[in-house]
């Protein structure tokens, strides 16, 4: 109960102080005198600024930009001179031949005759050409026994080998041996001491 009395006294003290602070200005006299010249100068300045703002917005909208005049169009470009007689260029040159042979696959060589795989089936599945003959743009120029044929195909001359003899494994460098420095070589086996 003693605590509640202490809190009631504290609340009452706070209330008296706040009420006296609120009412004290009502009972005091004013020591300042109002300077009318300062107020009138501010009112005159305000009127001048209002007049200036009104003059800024007269004759235009405050929400839209005024329309600008369009710039004059640029002068037309000069007309290019046209030759009355066109130059005779002629037909374009034919395209160069392919760098690699892309024709039918060579499947056999018999003397002066070379056999190629055709696109059909049965008797048409094989194209047989002798030296100097041509069929479907493929012409045999020469044969070199046992496995080489020189052909002319799409304006290019190619040498075709019947057997592909590439073995890239033997052309590669020998791989380096792995590093074995981390291994420890044991020459002798230590004997364990005999227990007596």
pTM passes above 0.85 = no
Q: Is 95 exposed, middle or buried (0-12, 13-18, 19+ CB in 10 A)?
A: exposed
Q: What percent of the chain lies above the pLDDT cut of 70?
A: 81
**Is 164 in a helix, a strand, or coil?**
coil
Cα–Cα distance measured from residue 109 to residue 163, given in angstroms and rounded to the nearest whole number: 11
Per DSSP (E only), the strands in 59-111 are 106-110
Q: Can you give the pLDDT at residue 186? A: 66
The Cα–Cα gap between 102 and 108 comes to 17
For 87-146, the pLDDT digits (tens) are: 777 888 888 888 888 888 889 898 889 998 888 777 778 888 999 999 888 999 999 888
CB 127 within 8 Å of CB 69: no
Give the C-alpha distances (Å, rounded to integers) separating 49 from 39, 46, 178: 16, 5, 93
Contact 108, 115 (CB under 8 A): yes
Query: For residues 74 and 87, what is the distance between their CA atoms, to the nearest angstrom?
Result: 34
Question: What per-residue confidence (pLDDT) applies to 175?
Answer: 76
**Once rounded to an integer, what is the mean pLDDT over residues 67-86?**
82
Mean pLDDT in the chain?
A: 82
What is the three-class DSSP state of 144?
strand
Q: Which of 159, 157, 139, 163 is nearest to 149 (CA)?
A: 159
Q: Is residue 69 very low, low, confident or very high in pLDDT (cuts 50, 70, 90)?
A: confident
């Amino acid at each position: 109960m003693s605590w509640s009395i202490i809190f009631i006294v504290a609340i009452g003290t706070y209330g008296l102080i706040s009420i006296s602070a609120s009412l004290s200005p009502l009972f005091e006299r004013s020591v300042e005198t109002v300077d009318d010249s300062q107020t009138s100068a501010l009112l005159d300045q305000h009127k001048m600024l209002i007049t200036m703002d009104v003059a800024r917005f007269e004759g235009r909208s405050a929400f839209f930009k005024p329309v600008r005049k369009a710039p004059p169009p640029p002068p037309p470009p000069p007309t290019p001179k046209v030759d009355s007689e066109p130059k005779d260029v002629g037909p374009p040159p034919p395209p160069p031949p392919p760098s690699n042979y892309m024709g039918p696959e060579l499947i056999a060589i018999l003397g002066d005759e070379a056999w190629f795989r055709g696109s059909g089936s049965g008797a048409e599945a094989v194209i047989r050409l002798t030296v100097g003959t041509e069929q479907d743009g493929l012409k045999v120029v020469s044969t070199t026994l046992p496995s080489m044929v020189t052909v002319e195909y799409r304006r290019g001359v190619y040498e075709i080998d019947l057997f592909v003899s590439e073995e890239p494994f033997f052309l590669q460098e020998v791989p380096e041996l792995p590093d074995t420095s981390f291994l420890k070589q044991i020459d002798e086996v230590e004997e364990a001491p005999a227990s007596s």
